[in-house]
Amino acid sequence: MTEHPLDPVRILLVDDHPLLRRGLADLLRMEDGLLPSGEAATGEDAIRMASEQDFDLILLDLNMPGLNGIETIIGLRQAGVDAKIIIFTVSDDHADVIEALREGADGYLLKDMEPEALISQIRQAALGRIAISPELTQILARAVQGRKNESRQLPELTKRERDVLRLIARGQSNKVIARNLDITEGTVKVHAKRLLQKLDVRSRTEAAIWFLENNLE
């Protein structure tokens, strides 16, 4: 049986090509549980819209005029946006993949993939899993292996920080974590910020990978 989130996944499409945005929106509308809820042509507009509205997932182009995809990710995370962010681009450059994931992206997909594969990856991201084009998985694996080979002392985490980290690793949003732990969403954000500092990582994705690497379940 295929897993689906219970509520429709509200998606913001960010790309400077209106025809591509329209095509993506039409594709998503044909799928149960996926709801194209906004479009932005620039990174600046994406940050403003995501700060004002509640999106679950942001499909984001890498190369745009003004703020590029990486700069937009940074701006979104600094603005406190915790929607899942998936880069959707033509670039398969290794440096772009690693930088996007380190800055807070939850996935990296290539625009030449088949529509069925794109929908499948978006559904995976909505369930809290890393969405990445199959041909790019070796890049992620090498990055993870490189961190494993580093000599790092495990940081001391409080019980609450471990609880938050465990739920981040399961792909849960701040809102869901707050509900599960019976604390405020603001408190979750404080814990998450401290976690990233203690783990010396820059994104929730890296924190989740760190959690799995160190077998903290």
Confidence of residue 151 (pLDDT cuts 50, 70, 90): very low
Domain architecture of the chain: domains with CATH? 9-141 (3.40.50.2300), 152-213 (1.10.10.10)
The dihedral region occupied by 40, where left means phi > 0, alpha psi between -120 and 50, and beta the remainder, is beta
What's the Rg (C-alpha) of the chain? 17
Read off the pLDDT of residues 155-171 as tens digits, 9 standing for 90 and up. Answer: 788 899 989 988 887 77
Read off the pLDDT of residues 77-123 as tens digits, 9 standing for 90 and up. Answer: 889 898 989 999 998 888 888 888 878 888 889 999 999 999 999 98
| pTM recorded for the entire structure | 0.71
C-alpha closest to that of 43 among 27, 62, 24, 56: 62
Half-sphere exposure of 15 (CA within 13 A, CB side): 19
Residue 35, token pair as written in the block: 């709801």
The three-class DSSP label of residue 87 is strand
Residue 82, token pair as written in the block: 């915790």
At residue 10's C-alpha, the angle toward residues 6 and 11, to 5°, is 135
